[in-house]
Structure 1
Amino acid sequence: MIHIISPAKSLDFETKSQFDILSEGIFRKESEQIMKKLRTQSKKKLKDLMGISDNLAELNYERNQIWEFPTAGNEQAKQAVLAFTGDVYLGMDANSFSKTDLEYAQEHLRILSGLYGLLRPMDLILPYRLEMGTDLKVGTKKNLYDFWGNKITKAINESLKGHQEKVLVNLASNEYFKAVKPKEVEGEIVSPEFKDEKNGKLKIISFYAKRARGMMSNYMIKNKIAQVEDLKGFDYEGYRFSQELSTPNKPVFTRAENWK
């Protein structure tokens, strides 16, 4: 059983990694192809393409010009799971992992990425910004979904081969999961859902749902979860499994408004 999450736009390359486990991404050729195209984009084009400020456009233009595929000898590179710092990663809290946890995560967690395709947690990355939904034409491919095609799905299937339980737990956002071809996944897909009570009604609140997906990843890694049934035990920060709202492929976790 493996689980997938989205990357984050916010990054931390200032804090030095305390772990010496390193690996390199599997899609070097593809990442270099994408970056070759990104390098041709002016600051103005990046601003329009990504809907970002002048400052962010300038920052990412500079990043693109000096980017090279990150390898073990690159001191500027950092392991993906420690470099991303968005809401999902705050929930996951990878800095609290032991070496054993990270070794387990390396086999059971994958991170989707517009630039790198599919990352293991300890794959090295360099600072970048490229969301999967960005309308970037690369070669004859009209956008990144078209560019990645079924490559990401094939890589997921390759990862699943070594697992007894052929299950893909989807903790990614819709934007990123669209880069996976569900019908081609060689296993069952389970997509947990997290709902919070607001004014007496249960709803998915984006900020909380992102953090909850990260917390579920933490729960799976720290508890070495290997069976779908064991996902039901997730109880971080007031969430509880709802038998009533769940289906076999969509376990639902709810949290009361006054959970604290």
Structure 2
Amino acid sequence: MQIIIAPAKKMVVDQDTFAVQGQPQYLQAAATLLAAMQRLSLKEAQALWRCSDKLAQAAYRRLLATTLAGPQTPALVAFSGLAYQAMAPDLFTAPALAYVQANLRILSGFYGVLRPFDGVVPYRLSLDERLAVGEYRDLYAFWGARLYAALDFSHGPVLDLASKEYSRAVAPYLRLGESLVAVVFAQLVDGRPKVKATLAKQARGAMVRYLAEHQVTTLAGVAGFDDPRYRFDPERSSDRQLVFIQR
């Protein structure tokens, strides 16, 4: 059972925790995007990133100095946002690390699709940021079906722990009999499920850790996610969506 998850904007360089075991599948496409971004002016880059002057200036300096050769960090520990902090991959057992390398795929606006131990460099580029590249008006058009093509639906549905802007890069290309099964973490507000983004990101990371530690390979196993903050809600769930409600 494959699992998809979104990246994080916050990234670090860490060459000590784990060794790089491979290179991203779409490295040449990343090189094309890097060249396009390095042609942007500071003003254009800031408009793309939609961030403050201070953040834009620091990110732009880093962008101009970036090379894909490194120093590289395994993707699993390069991203350090809320989901990855909750995942805590540096504490994984050897079987858990083997599980995520085989089953977890990180979707990326810059690299396309990453295995956990693919070597990456820090970048700032979300999939929904409107970077025009050659004939392509945005990153969804640039990547086309390639993110879908890198996933394996031969053993059943792919578990969707990614945010919507990343899932939508895969969903249009699904073939008959293939599906993404979304996981929703919500709390009840006036009797209706409401998703709080911060809590949902943390829960996604915690679920990856649970799946890896328990070597889960079925949706029934996913429904058994044991977390003190959430309970599985079978009545609100379906064959396309697993819903977990805050306790």
* Same-fold status (TM-score > 0.5): yes
**Amino acid in structure 2 at the alignment position of 1:34:** L
> Is 2:114 the counterpart of 1:119?
yes
In the alignment, which residue of structure 2 is the partner of 1:59?
58
Cα separation, 1, equivalents of 2:241 and 2:191:
22
1:182–1:189 Cα contact (<8 Å) kept: no
Cα separation, 2, equivalents of 1:197 and 1:116:
36
Off by >4 Å, runs of 4+ in structure 1: 198-201
Cα separation, 2, equivalents of 1:44 and 1:99:
45
3-state SS in 2 of match to 1:196: strand
> Is 2:186 the counterpart of 1:195?
yes
Out of 172, 179, 190, the residue aligned to residue 169 of structure 2 is 179
Cα separation, 2, equivalents of 1:202 and 1:152:
30
**Amino acid in structure 1 at the alignment position of 2:194:** K
In the alignment, which residue of structure 2 is the partner of 1:142?
137
Cα separation, 2, equivalents of 1:108 and 1:189:
14
- Greater shift in the superposed pair: 134-143 or 98-107: 98-107
In the alignment, which residue of structure 2 is the partner of 1:8?
8
3-state SS in 2 of match to 1:193: strand
2:3–2:105 Cα contact (<8 Å) kept: yes
1:237 positional shift: 3.1
1:150–1:181 Cα contact (<8 Å) kept: no
Question: What are the ranges of 5 or more consecutive residues in structure 2 without an aligned counterpart?
Answer: none
Cα separation, 1, equivalents of 2:121 and 2:83:
19
1:183 positional shift: 4.2
In the alignment, which residue of structure 1 is the partner of 2:23?
24
Matches within 5 A, 1:1-260: 1-13=1-13, 15-70=14-69, 74=70, 76-157=71-152, 160-161=153-154, 165-184=155-174, 187-198=178-189, 202-256=193-247
**Amino acid in structure 2 at the alignment position of 1:36:** A
2:127–2:165 Cα contact (<8 Å) kept: yes
Across the two proteins, how many residue pairs are aligned to each other? 246
Per-residue CA distance 1:108-150 (angstroms, 9 max, x = gap): 0000101000000111111110010111000100000000000
Per-residue CA distance 1:47-87 (angstroms, 9 max, x = gap): 112111222222222222222224xxx4x210111011111
Cα separation, 2, equivalents of 1:201 and 1:152:
33
- Give percent identity, aligned residues only: 33
1:232 positional shift: 1.1
Cα separation, 2, equivalents of 1:26 and 1:69:
13
1:21 positional shift: 5.0
After superposition, the CA RMSD in angstroms is 1.8
1:94 positional shift: 1.1
Per-residue CA distance 1:79-103 (angstroms, 9 max, x = gap): 1110111111122111111232112
- Greater shift in the superposed pair: 123-132 or 230-239: 230-239
Question: What are the ranges of 5 or more consecutive residues in structure 1 without an aligned counterpart?
Answer: none
TM-score (norm 1): 0.89
1:199 positional shift: 6.8
Cα separation, 2, equivalents of 1:238 and 1:34:
40
Cα separation, 2, equivalents of 1:17 and 1:168:
31
